[in-house]
Every structure is written in structure tokens, then in C-alpha cells.
Amino acid sequence: MVTIKDVALAAKVSVATVSRVLNKTGYVHEDTKTRVLKAMEQLNYHPNEVARSLYKRESRLIGLLLPDITNPFFPQLARGVEDEIHQNGFRLIFGNSDENLDKELDYLQTFKQNHVVGVISATNDPGSANYKHLSMPIVFLDRTGEHAPSVFADGREGGRIAALEIIQRNSKRITLMKGPGHLQTARDRFNGALEILSGADVDFHVMSTETFSFREAQKRAEELFSLYPETDGVIASNDIVATAVLHEALKRKINVPDDLQIIGFDDIPQSELLFPSLSTIRQPAYEMGKEAAKLLLALMKNENIEQSAVQMPVTFIERQTTRKVDDNE
Amino acid sequence: MVTIKDVALAAKVSVATVSRVLNKTGYVHEDTKTRVLKAMEQLNYHPNEVARSLYKRESRLIGLLLPDITNPFFPQLARGVEDEIHQNGFRLIFGNSDENLDKELDYLQTFKQNHVVGVISATNDPGSANYKHLSMPIVFLDRTGEHAPSVFADGREGGRIAALEIIQRNSKRITLMKGPGHLQTARDRFNGALEILSGADVDFHVMSTETFSFREAQKRAEELFSLYPETDGVIASNDIVATAVLHEALKRKINVPDDLQIIGFDDIPQSELLFPSLSTIRQPAYEMGKEAAKLLLALMKNENIEQSAVQMPVTFIERQTTRKVDDNE
DNA sequence: TTGAAAGCGGTACCAT
DNA sequence: ATGGTACCGCTTTCAA
């Protein structure tokens, strides 16, 4: 491995000088700078980040903690984060936490041990002790943060929009699926929808799903249609659940969207690929990842950011599981 | 930050001794060992990985390079890798290469600068100069490696199986979609299917897709049905393309699987969620990730591994886009 | 069985 | 404008 010493030798200067041109700090004569640069070039020198990190007590690494990259909502987030930090010369240490606080703590620990300069976490529990005494900037992603820096979508508004749109399209007996109670984001969207439904002239009932797994959603979907066969509109807690409902409806030869409308939440990539394609409330996942990265980068430079909770807008994506809205209304 | 020095002070020993108990190396008296351990405990000491890495010239980090985590095939791979290395105390530096050799090189470079102990790469071009003089163990993932360590699925066999299964189920006029020519894996599965089709009593024609994007696949699917309306079986180059074909077929009210059978490739998670759910050739992505990690770990310990190209089996996943095979045949 | 000290590859202070 | 050198936190000889 070629070190700063080799470069110094080749350029006939001291390591201090090489360090100066490397970091563009302090005075260094144009000519010697050229010599040094040439030496670096010839030797194909790349500074050892580990040595740097040791002295400066900070690396060019950022920690990213996601519940499970295998869940289709998260890759978009991850990609947004990566694209943004990569531009700024940072790299990612990545881990899946499985919503497990011990695993989270373990990762946070190794992040620290590796001198990461900041972390982005999509934990369910931003209030956990894990984050209390974290001695570095952190931003929470996809989690409503009370006081901590965070980036999240406006779930409550999303819930409202979903309810409004389905009502506007004349569903009268609506089933509102409630996602896992321990997820703030799921609660928000549920409450938003509930708010509108309670104030509208429609019948509705609520059905809970404890996870976002397709398997469980399938079971609940079966129950839905046997218990409430009169349902003509479903507001699902996310796109996975909506997919399960659609699946079951098609299996029962229910006409979607004519006899049953379905609205999902998230707009994961495959929602568009379903047939009929899924109408849903879109969270701008990629952009959220980017925003979180931007916020973290800002936090790293400047201790006091004014706007440290950024709420991203959600939008209704009209596809084929909802009817066209009647112009005459 | 609490350092080894603090521990030494608290335990009234030298840093050397602390280091010894930390690494379980050399002699150290039971009693002093206990004292040291207690001091670590009390101070909540965690060794600085950066300092370690600097001295030893190797970290506990592994580099993972994927084309694009946003492509639904890759998260499974990533998860498999992570689970395996995590168990062994390693962590991941992760990057998306976008199949771009410069980005790849850039990542490989920063991996090195951070003292990663090995890399796992799903590059399209294992032969690239990028990997020629890489001074650390590497395993290629999802890429047929000629001589380098690699883990990949048996694409050729997958192609054969797809053709066999669709023929067995009585498709007579088959369209074989050919994936991007620059991807070895796509070529393999194509050639496997071609091998069987050419030897069978069926009509077939070949259609190329240059990417695996859903957009392009949609266009090609439209063309497929307008140019070859008599097609009664499609072997797609992967599940994304298969999904587009299914989409278009349903749009045209073609009865799947009665009048048209479709077989995909990969078995990405959403293939099961389609309606009708997609019959496909499954690559065990999660297991492939795990295998790659295992292989890398082995490579790191032992220079000479006998079996360094591990080929994983593919399986036909019978779902709803293929007909039941007739028992009487 | 333990400790002193050199060294990993940089950075930054202090001289000159 | 440049060089010498202490230091970042740990590991590993070497001596005691």
C-alpha cells in the first residue's frame, strides 16, 4: 500500500506538505504542489481513510438503519439516502434492525466504533434509550419525531385523502383497515381516515391487521369478505394489505372497481404492476431518503437547524382500483 | 469516549494487559483478567474499531456492491449477505453501482481506503480491470464467474425447465423473450430455453428486450400481442417482463392461463402477489446472498478453497399463470 | 505474568 | 512556504 510517506519521498518534501496539498490547507508553493500532485498520480496514491478517521475522530461514513430492506418500501428510501450522501463524498454502513431494539443498539454501537459522522434510522421507537445519549447527529426517517430531527410523510393527511377520494367516488359501506398499532405512521393514516369517515354519510367498520405481512393480510381479507360481504370500498393500511384485498376480491370474482374500490398506502413499485393497478396514497420514498440525508448533512455542519422536522406531502395516485369521479357531481 | 487507557487506569494495569484480555491473546492472570473485565463493564468500554483497523490493516467491514437495491431482486441478496456476515461480527459498507464501471471502481477504491476485508459484488463485468488487481478476497454474486469465486443460479437449467414446463402444459406457439444481451445470466436462461424449444415440436419466436425496465417491457408486450396474436405461451426473461406481459394480456382480456401461459424468472416477492399469481423459475436469492457471504468468509480464512464457484439450483414455482399438467399424458 | 514503547498512516501545531 | 513531531487508540514485540 502506498502511503503519504512514499509520496513525500517521491516529491522530495515532508509528509506535512503532502498532507497540506491533500487537504488544501495552509500555504504551499505552486511548484511543490505540482510536484506532490504528480507524485500522487504516479504512485496512484489514495489516502488511508482509517488513519484519517483515527486522528480526526470522524470518518466519511454514515450509518443507515432500516427495519428490513426486504420490505419493498425501504429500498427506495435507502437509494435516496445513498444518492444524496454519495454526492457529498460519504459512504454508507448499512444494517437491518428487524424492529428489534437490541439489534438496533448493536448497530448503533458499531456505527460509533467505526466513527460514523451521523446516522439515519427508520426505527419504530425514536424515543428509545438507544438514541438518548447518541453523541452524533441523527435523523429519523419515516418516523414522526417529536423533538428530534426527522423526515416523514404526512400520514394523517394521507388517511384523510384516501377517505375523501373513496367517498367522492361513491363507496357507501367502507372497511377501514387499521395497521399495526405500534407504528406511529400506521396510526396516523388510520386516524386521518377515521376523521373523515366519522364525519361523512357512510357506513364503515374497522378491521385490524397486526403486521404488514402478506400472509396475515390474506387471512384478514378472507374474513373481510365473509364477515362484511356488503363492503364496497376498502381503505387499506398499506399497499401490501391492499394487494391482499385485491387478490381476494378477484378470487371471489368481485368486480373492481365497479363493485368494490380499494385504496392502498405507500405506492410501492409493484402497486403499479398489479392488474388492475392499485390506486394508492403515495409517499415519496426516494425523496424522503434524499431529504433525510440532506438534513443530516446540514446537521453535521451546523448545530442549529431551524426546520428539523420535515414533513413530506402525500398524493393520491389514481389508478384502476378506484372509479373515475363523476364530473356532474 | 472511553479508551483502552481509561480501562487500564481503572484496572490498575497497563494498556498492553487490557489489550490482551480484549483479544484473548497471551498470558494474563485470572484475577487481573477479572479486574479488567469489570473495569470495561463499569466504564462501558467498546474498543475503537478504527484504531484497531489502522494497526492491523484490516477492519471488520465487508463491501457490498449491487447494481441497484431498488430492483426487487437485490434486496433479498443483500439481506442474505447481511444476515450471514452479521453473525460473524462483520458489518456492511454498501453501494449501488448502476452497472456503471466508474462508480464501481469508485466504490472499490473507498472500500479499500476503509480497510474492508473482502467484497461481494454483483457486477456485470467480473472481468473488468477493476477487479484484476484487487488486493483482497472477492466473490461475485449473481454472475457466472469463469475462474473467480462466485455464487450464481443455474440459469441455463432454469431456461430449460421453463421451456419444458410450458411445453408439457401444451403451449404450441411460444414467444421466448430474450433479456439484455450484456447480462450473462440473461443469456444463460435464454440459451437454456432455446435449447429445449429448438428440439421440441412447437412453433416459437424470439423477442428481445434491452433492459429489464417495466416501461420497456410494456411496449414489447404490446408488440408481442399485435405481431403474434396466436401466441399461447410466453417464457419471459424475468418476472418484471412477465408481469408486463400478464398485464397486457389481461388488458386484452386474454384468458390466462387457459389461452395463454406465462412463465417468469427470478421469483421476486411480488410475483406471488399478482393475480393470477405468476408461475416462475425461482432463484434462491436470499440463500445466494448467504452462500456468497459464507464463501467470502471462507476465502478470508483460507487461501485455497476447493469449490469456489457455487451454482445454486433453480426450481419451477407453479402458480396460476400456467395450467395444471394433465395427469393422463 | 506484566509493562514500555514502537508503529499503523495520517493531521496539525509549532518552529524556522 | 516548509519540515519536525506529537498524537489519534490500539496491537504486538521485547524485556523484565
Mind listing the pLDDT tens digit for each residue in A264-289? 999 999 999 999 999 999 999 999 99
Residue B308's pLDDT band, with cuts at 50, 70 and 90, is: confident
Does the nearest atom of strand D lie within 7 Å of A33's Cβ?
yes
Does the nearest atom of strand D lie within 7 Å of B39's Cβ?
no
How many residues can be counted in chain A?
329
Question: In which residue ranges of chain B is CATH 3.40.50.2300 found?
Answer: 61-153+286-312, 155-283+315-328
Residue B130's pLDDT band, with cuts at 50, 70 and 90, is: confident
**Number of C-beta neighbours around residue B48 at 10 A:** 20
Does the nearest atom of strand C lie within 7 Å of A275's Cβ?
no
Q: Where are the beta strands (DSSP E) in chain B?
A: 61-66, 91-96, 118-121, 138-141, 150-153, 173-178, 203-208, 233-235, 261-266, 279-282, 309-312, 315-317
pLDDT at residue A151, rounded to an integer: 96
pLDDT tens digits for range B157-180: 999 999 999 999 999 999 999 999
Residue B306's pLDDT band, with cuts at 50, 70 and 90, is: low
Give strand letter and number of the nucleotide nearest A6 (CA to C1').
C9
Cell of B211: 433492459
Q: Check CB contact under 8 Å for B70 and A68.
A: no
Cell of B309: 464457484
Does A97 lie at the interface with B, CB-CB under 8 angstroms?
A: no
pLDDT at residue B326, rounded to an integer: 67
Residue B23 has pLDDT above 70, yes or no: yes
Pick out chain A residues at pLDDT < 50: 328-329
Residue B131 CA: distances (Å) to CA of B101, B137, B139: 11, 10, 10
Measured CA to CA, the distance from residue B294 to residue A188 in angstroms comes to 42
pLDDT at residue A329, rounded to an integer: 44
**Number of C-beta neighbours around residue A201 at 10 A:** 6
Best CA proximity match to B119, nearest among B56, B66, B70: B66
- Characterize the bridge pairing of strands A279-282 and A315-317: antiparallel
Measured CA to CA, the distance from residue B114 to residue A49 in angstroms comes to 6
The contacts of residue B289 (CB under 8 Å, 6+ apart) are B76, B77, B78, B79, B80, B81, B82, B83, B84, B141
**With a CB-CB cutoff of 8 Å, which residues 45-64 of chain B face chain A?**
46-51, 53-54, 57, 59-61
Measured CA to CA, the distance from residue B75 to residue B65 in angstroms comes to 12
The one-letter amino acid at A39: A
Helix (H, G, I), strand (E, B), or coil: what is residue A54?
helix
Residue of chain A whose alpha carbon sits nearest to that of B83: A96
Cell of B188: 444463460
Residue A79 CA: distances (Å) to CA of A159, A290, B63, B282: 26, 8, 16, 25
pLDDT at residue A133, rounded to an integer: 85
Does the nearest atom of strand C lie within 7 Å of A16's Cβ?
yes
8 A C-beta contact, residue B256 and residue B22? no
pLDDT at residue A145, rounded to an integer: 67
The contacts of residue B263 (CB under 8 Å, 6+ apart) are B162, B165, B166, B233, B234, B235, B236, B242, B279, B280, B281, B316, B321, B322
8 A C-beta contact, residue B321 and residue B261? yes
Q: Specify the CATH number of the domain A155-283+315-328.
A: 3.40.50.2300
Q: What's the whole-number mean pLDDT along residues B247-268?
A: 97
CA A30-A35-A38 angle, to 5 degrees, is: 120
* Least confident piece of the model among A90-99, A302-311, B16-25, B139-148: A302-311
Best CA proximity match to A185, nearest among A270, A308, A73: A73
Residue B329's pLDDT band, with cuts at 50, 70 and 90, is: very low
pLDDT at residue A328, rounded to an integer: 47
For chain B, give the mean pLDDT.
Answer: 95
Q: Does domain B61-153+286-312 have CATH number 3.40.50.2300?
A: yes
Q: Bridge-partner residues for A234, per DSSP?
A: A175, A262
Measured CA to CA, the distance from residue A311 to residue B219 in angstroms comes to 37
pLDDT at residue B328, rounded to an integer: 47
CATH architecture of the region B4-47: Orthogonal Bundle (1.10)
More confident residue, B80 or A124: B80
More confident residue, B189 or B126: B189
Report how many Cβ contacts below 8 Å link chain A to chain B: 136
Rounded (to 5) percent helix, strand, coil in chain A: 45, 15, 40
Residue B7 CA: distances (Å) to CA of A265, A278, B1, B50: 51, 59, 11, 18
Q: Check CB contact under 8 Å for B50 and A48.
A: no
Give strand letter and number of the nucleotide nearest B29 (CA to C1').
C1
Best CA proximity match to B140, nearest among B296, B283, B27, B24: B296
Measured CA to CA, the distance from residue B308 to residue B299 in angstroms comes to 9
Q: Which residues from 36-65 of A have any strand D atom under 7 Å from their CB?
A: 51, 54-55, 57
CA A124-A301-A23 angle, to 5 degrees, is: 125
Residue B259 CA: distances (Å) to CA of A127, A224, B228: 56, 32, 14
